[in-house]
Every structure is written in structure tokens, then in C-alpha cells.
Amino acid sequence: MPILGIDVGTGGSRAIVVGHDGAVLSSATSEHEPFTSPGPAWAEQHPADWWRASQEAVRAAIAAAGVTPSSIAGIGLSGQMHGAVLLDGHGEVVRPALIWCDQRTDEQCEWLNRTVGADRLLSLTCNPALPNFTLTKLLWVRQHEPRLWDRVRHILLPKDYVRYRLSGEFAIDVADASGTLMLDVAKRQWSTPMLDAAGLQAGFLPAVFESPAVCARVSAAAAGATGLVAGTPIVAGAGDQAAGAVGVGITRPGAVSATIGTSGVVFAATDRPALDPKGRLHTFCHAIPDRWHVMGVTQAAGLSLRWIRDQWGGGMTYDQLTAEASQAPPGADGVLWAPYLMGERTPHLDSSIRGALVGLAASHTRGHVVRAVLEGVAFSLRDSFTIFSELQVPVQRIRLGGGGARSPLWREIQAAVYGHDVETVAVEEGAAYGAALLAGVGAGVWKNVDEACDAVVRVSGVTHPQRDAAAVMNERYHAYRKIYPGLKAMA
């Protein structure tokens, strides 16, 4: 029996139909309206547009797969993390959602650090106050839009709004809830002391489930809208990073993924909540019961390459740009890129820092600049590996995902920068694939997530670090590490 995964991303909603053997039968994507920026570093989207796109993607994927809706054994959901979807008592959206990359809440982070305390925040939630996290967005709305806040009765994350439209149920998984700054990550439940300290009502929050658990079923109304069958089970699913990790088999300690999408993420599975006392890494629940993960985030990873393409690419494709970059030598003849277009999370926790392109000479070409961007993003991800080493988080194998896995040059650069073999998998369908595997576990196709990944995730290629390139990258990484202090001193 096939299973369905849905990923509510930033740019669009994606649906994927997967067979019981893990083969992808079909996929479809419906784009979202671009997010709006009503103020500097603000980012908002309309939840109704996610639901519209999800309906379109589900209908198209089922039709392309050639399966009957009644044969769908289960549905898994994934999506962009950290968003704040606010509903009133009738389930109507109160205002556009503040999404993951919104950076307006520095004041609210400072308030939390003063009133709750930075150390207590880490103790209660395993994470520091950052502008990306959901709680800070709630506090901003409460402070600046009190009339709207007075209407709020339900708080959801993006994928969970789609679940609500699919089923009428308010639910969330532990992995996505970890990114709200309201979850006791160690105990895998909402933190009453944190909610009390922030002055929030627990009744506004959805029920929390483990990722493979069935928590809802398709309603009659949603069946008519999507073509699905009423009563089809829906599992809790996971935020996009945990679901994406499941999709490439990052389930056990020692397994690490490096994924380059709009943002970049280094994700390590752990069997304990591995807390970074400096708060540079996120410590979240994994999509697997009794497991956790640590995660470092680069805000503008693939976004850096897209920005270069859009501003100076002259209509060139990514493949054409990386072909030019391949003509430049490792180290880009001294050009360095600091990818702080949207501030930075790991390791700097600095929403106001901005990017820099340094070391330019008249002899440099666009290829040098593009290569410097590819290397700079990899350097920023290496910062997470550096912290893993400090915390004694094991790194036995590294699997690549996103655009960084599809580009041969970027694979070579990452292998050289990390000084480690990097693997790619046969099916790299992102978070939607991981969500489908979680649905399969909930539907009984596999006994647990480990069994699912062992059965269907296959390594398709390994890229080894080239010795000379690795030596150059190691030297340039140390030069790269000097950029941030210089930028900070000028701010």
C-alpha cells in the first residue's frame, strides 16, 4: 500500500507518493506566493496559501502515481520550522504567519534573557533565545499587536496548520515543537515553567506526539478538497530538518547530514540531549522516540548562491555558474565569502551581522566569486563540525542533502572542507520522503524508523577529499574564521 508525504516549505508545498518498498511513485509541487517583508528583516506568509498549495500538490501527486486514494495507507507531514500561526476560537487565521527567517524579535530575545535568564532558558528548553524561534514571535505580536493577540486561542506551526485543515485536529510532533522555545526537550513535553515565565496559556498549544504516532485522520471536508479518503490516518510527522534526516537515514549516533537548501544545516543524531552550554547548536528531539539531535544552522547557504545568481548571474543557470567556478582553483585565489546575508545562527547567534566578500583583485573572475561562495557556505557548516568535536558528538559518516548533494563541485568542496568522505543517497527527495517513511511506520509498513531507513535508504555515491584540496581548504578555513570578528568590530 502506498504512503503519502507532504512538505510545507517556504517556496512551495510538495507531495510525494512512496511505495511500500521505498520507491518514489510520483511527486508534485505547488509554489507558494513569495513571502512578504512589511518591515526590515521581516518575513510573513499566509497560511491559507499553504493549504491551497498542499491541496494542489496532493491531487497532482496521486494522479501521477496512478493509485487510488483509498489505497493510501497513511499520511506524514513535514514543513518549515519555527513559524507562528495564530488562530482564533473559530479556527480562523488572525494575522499572516511570522515564518522561520523573520528577524524582528531581538527585543523579545533580550526580554527573555532578562526575565527568565539565559542559563535558565538552556535548562528549561536546551536552547537559547533566538529571533527565529516561535516563542519570540508570539511575544512580539503580544507586545505590538495586542488587539490581534486578544483574539488568539490556538498556536500552530506551518505543517500543523495544514494538518488542522486536513483533519480539524490541533497536534504537533516533538521534533518541530523543539524549535518553539516552549518544549522541555529532555522530557519531550511542553515546559510548564517556560510557559509560566513567558505568561502564555498552555491551552493555546496543540497536543504533542512522537513523530510516527497517528494523531489525526482526514476529515470529510478535507477529503472533498484533496481527493483523499476520509479516515485516512495522519501521523505527527516532523519539522523539515528531522524529516529530511530520516529521509537520508540519519537515525543513529555517529550519522551526520549536511544539507544545503535556502539555509544550511549540519544534523547529528544522538541518544541523549547533547547540550551546548554556549547555545551555539540547537538541541532538539529527533523524529525517533528516545532519540535527539544536535543541529547547527547557516542562515543563508543556498540563498547565497541564489543571491549571486540573481544579482550577477546574467540569466545563467546554477549549473553554468558552477561550471565557471570549477575553473577557479581550490581557495578561489584568495577570495573569501562570509554568508551572513540573513544574520547568522551557528556559531555566532548574531541576527544583525551582514555578509562580506573579501580578498578581491582585478584579476578575479565571476568564477572565482562563485567558487568563494560555495567554499564560504561549506566553511560556515564546518563551524558546526568544530563544535561537535568540542561536545564529543561522534561523526562516523556524513551524508549530503539538498543542492549541496546535487552539485558535483559542491560535493568535492564539502569533502575537502570537512576533511571527510561524504555520501549521497539514491533517493534524495528531502523532507517529504522522510515524512512518508514516518507515515509508513505509523501505518505498520515498518515496525520502527530504524527498520524503515535500513530497508529503503541506499548510498549511491561517495566523494573522497582530495589531499591537496583538503590542505588548501584547511588553511583557508582558518582565514575565514577571522572575518566575523572583523565584521563585528566594524558594526
User: What is the number of alpha carbons within 13 Å of residue 465 lying toward its C-beta?
Assistant: 18
What's the rounded Cα separation, in Å, for the pair 111 and 129?
Answer: 9
Grid-cell match 510545507, residue found: 8
Query: Exactly one of 240, 290, 383, 421 is catalytic; which is it?
Result: 240
Q: Say which amino acid occupies 400.
A: L
Cross-strand bridge partners of residue 292: 270, 285
Which letter does DSSP use for residue 217 in this model?
E
57-91: b or e for each residue (b if 16 or more CB lie within 10 Å)? bbbbbbeebebebeebbbbbbbbbbbbbbbbeeee
Do the strands 422-425 and 395-402 form a parallel or antiparallel pair, or are they unpaired? parallel
Neighbours of 482 (CB within 10 A): 11
Active site includes 102? no
C-alpha torsion sign, points 428, 419, 294, 212: positive
- In terms of phi and psi (left: phi > 0; alpha: psi -120 to 50; beta: otherwise), the region of 447 is alpha
* Bond prior to 347 in cis (omega within 30° of 0): yes
> Counting Cβ atoms within 10 Å, is residue 218 exposed (0-12), middle (13-18) or buried (19+)?
buried
Identify the CA nearest to 374 among candidates 314, 430, 429, 298: 298
What's the rounded Cα separation, in Å, for the pair 455 and 163?
Answer: 28
Grid-cell match 487510488, residue found: 68
Catalytic residues: 240
